[in-house]
Amino acid sequence: MANPPTDEARLIVGVDYGTTFTGVAHGHTGSKTVDSIISINSWPGLGNANEVKAPSQIAYGSGEDFPHGFRWGYDIPQDRNLVRHVWVKLLLNSPSTANNGANMDADPTFANKPALKPPSGYMALPPGKQAIDVVADYLSGVYAHALDRLSQQYGREYVDVTPIDFVLTVPAIWSDKARNLTKEAAKRAGFASRPDDRINLVTEPEAAAIYTIKSTFDATRNANPLQIGDSFVMVDAGGGTVDLISYEVIQTEPELKIAEKVVGSGGNCGSTFIDSQVQELLRKRITLAKLGPIPLSKRGPGSKFMREFETVKRAYGSGNGNPKPKYLTLNMPDNKIARIEDGDFELKDEEIKETFHPVIEEILTLVNGQITKIQEQGGKVKHIFLVGGFGESDYLYKTLQDYSWGNAGQINVIRPASAWSAVARGAVLWGLQGDLLVDKRRCRRHYGTELLKHFDPMMHSEVDAMISTFSGLKMAKNQISWIINRGDNTDSNKRFRLSCVTSFNRGEKLIHTTQLVACDSDEAPMNLRDKEVYDLCLLTADLSEVPEREFDECQIGSNTFLRAEFSIEMTFLPADIRFETWFKGKCYGAVRTRY
């Protein structure tokens, strides 16, 4: 099982840290049902109002108003001079992060998609802080509040002596490095800092799938039967990312089991990029009217303009529709060209629809890609499950429901109750039940390591030629041994072996480092110089505790060395990789990783 067994009494806390909003839910191993899971809906700064999520925003300051040096979520004062740091989560997965934000033109995450870029001034970082620092600060507020709510629910004394499993969700499309940074930020924030507390990671769409099936199909199995062979696409549409995983039903009795049908997909096309569109519309009108730039305090995160647009965005497509224009407070002088009247910015219905258009189109492309791949494998998609904050949008729901998916025709779209909190609730269910539902997962990328091969002029380039200092033979460097390939089935009970051979002097401590490489393309290249191959992390295996008598002697020239054959074994967890050192059938502990 991927997560630890839950035979003992433990609290399970699911944390869905999102680009725009963050949700937390909790449960107890004494009751493993959907109905027993509680979402936190009371947050600092919200007063008596209830919301199942808090804004993923943080502002820094000093003095009595900022006793911890920052305030977060709803607790940030409405001060136009206060800088709110938003969308910082996306920077964890950005290869071009700098202290002044991300270089979007150089970042392949956003390259070639001008309609899906963050607005100017967003994603900026405070001086001297990196993205992981800001995320850790924000999550420290979430952690302290979660413990406080648990203490109110169960009592302080009980929480103090009861171990907690924290299940953090991450986008399935994220790199291994970004997932590792998320876990590191959580540890810095205090998660699992108490004895016996633990952190696990699970992907957002898998958590959502678990919740959707348990809340929708388990409760209404006779009315909504899932048959063996049925496939469905899980669409987790959040604020920053949209994640898709497709599953096939492989067992219905005595318990339902599903397996990933094809490799998942996704992209940065969540509802936040609709905000980008309205910002661009505002910029164009202001430029056309030859007005000066609008300060971020009037149009940026936390401004009245964006708070009002959030209301418009959430309601769009609901009910019978209201084609009348909407007006957003901008507090700028009236201007006919910019269509500003009484300080309000006019948005016509067709303009609102246009802000949705590039984001919706990207989602349709992603869903269609999953359906096509399933059909290529002889499968048939029966359902689309829609969850996440953006999944609450009636406009997105109706678009997916009415869309004709080519040969697949129309597909039933199911949006479970509490779709916005589905990921956090599903994380709790995963913590309670483990891998009882998901039987197999598909590997997202190729993983391998460099390998020296005997030089073959028919296969290898002279660029890679070298003479071995040990054997004196001509070898080919930059060759890759792939341990596991993209699309291969993985489960938590299977280990993938990286075989290692090294020689060392007597009296030396055997600490061996290996560079793990990866590739995200469909076909795995065989040479490290290929541009699709990248360094993933440095693995350090420590065999210093193994007695020297356990190693074999080897003669290289006139010198005698010790020779060790061992393995680094990889276990793929739902959103993490565990590395262990094995020698002669015995595990010598975890392998250190440096991404």
pLDDT, tens digit (0-9, with 9 covering 90-100), for 493-504: 789 999 998 888
Kindly report, residue by residue over 451-464, the tens digit of the pLDDT. Answer: 889 999 999 999 99
Check whether 412 has a pLDDT greater than 60.
yes
The mean pLDDT value for 400-422 works out to: 92
Specify burial of residue 160 (Cβ count, 10 A radius: 0-12, 13-18, 19+): exposed
pLDDT category, 221, cuts 50, 70, 90?
low
What does the pLDDT read at residue 5?
Answer: 46
Q: 381, 433, 333, 322: which is closest to 14 by C-alpha?
A: 433
The mean pLDDT value for 482-503 works out to: 90
Residue 510 has what DSSP assignment? -
CA dist 94 and 418 (Å) reads 30
Which CATH code of 3.10.50, 2.40.360, 3.40.50, 3.30.420 fits the domain covering 207-261+359-422? 3.30.420
Average pLDDT, the chain: 90
Check whether 443 has a pLDDT greater than 90.
yes
Q: Which residue has the tokens 């005595």?
A: 254
Kindly report, residue by residue over 572-593, the tens digit of the pLDDT. Answer: 999 999 999 999 999 999 999 9
Specify burial of residue 549 (Cβ count, 10 A radius: 0-12, 13-18, 19+): exposed
Between the alpha carbon of residue 498 and those of residues 177, 180, 293, 330, 573, the distances in Å are 20, 21, 56, 59, 17
Check whether 97 has a pLDDT greater than 50.
no
The mean pLDDT value for 121-130 works out to: 86
Task: Indicate the range of 121-130, 137-146, 363-372 predicted with least confidence.
Answer: 121-130
What does the pLDDT read at residue 115?
Answer: 60
Residue 169's SS3 state is strand
What does the pLDDT read at residue 434?
Answer: 79
pLDDT category, 293, cuts 50, 70, 90?
confident
Check whether 100 has a pLDDT greater than 60.
no
pLDDT category, 231, cuts 50, 70, 90?
very high
Using a pLDDT cut of 90, give the percent of the chain over it.
75
What does the pLDDT read at residue 593?
Answer: 95
Contact 102, 93 (CB under 8 A): no
Contact 17, 169 (CB under 8 A): yes
Check whether 209 has a pLDDT greater than 80.
yes
Task: Indicate the range of 170-174, 316-320, 364-368, 554-558 predicted with least confidence.
Answer: 554-558
Q: List b or e across 241-272, with b for residues whose CB sees 16 or more CB atoms inside 10 angstroms.
A: bbbbbbbbbeeeeeebbbbbbbbbbbbbbbbb
What does the pLDDT read at residue 101?
Answer: 41
Task: Read off the amino acid at residue 359.
Answer: V
The mean pLDDT value for 231-254 works out to: 93
Q: 331, 351, 344, 350: which is closest to 284 by C-alpha?
A: 351
Using a pLDDT cut of 70, give the percent of the chain over it.
93
pLDDT category, 121, cuts 50, 70, 90?
low
The mean pLDDT value for 234-263 works out to: 92
Task: Spell out the residues 6+ positions from residue 110 whose beta carbon is closer than 8 angstroms to its own.
Answer: 102, 104, 116, 117, 118, 268
Phi then psi dihedrals of residue 24, to 5 deg: -135, 135
Q: Which residues pair with 385 in a beta bridge?
A: 234, 414
Domain 11-203 is in which class? alpha beta
The mean pLDDT value for 485-495 works out to: 88
The mean pLDDT value for 360-367 works out to: 96
Who has greater pLDDT, 253 or 95?
Answer: 253
Check whether 152 has a pLDDT greater than 90.
yes
What does the pLDDT read at residue 167?
Answer: 98
Q: 507, 517, 495: which is closest to 577 by C-alpha?
A: 495
Who has greater pLDDT, 380 or 254?
Answer: 380
Who has greater pLDDT, 325 or 319?
Answer: 325
The mean pLDDT value for 378-404 works out to: 95
pLDDT category, 234, cuts 50, 70, 90?
very high
Kindly report, residue by residue over 3-29, the tens digit of the pLDDT. Answer: 444 468 999 999 999 999 999 999 999
Check whether 393 has a pLDDT greater than 90.
yes
The mean pLDDT value for 240-266 works out to: 92
Q: Dump strand ranges (E) for 355-473.
A: 380-387, 412-414, 438-442, 446-454, 465-467
What does the pLDDT read at residue 169?
Answer: 97
What are the structure tokens assigned to 346, written together? 């006019």
Who has greater pLDDT, 546 or 319?
Answer: 546
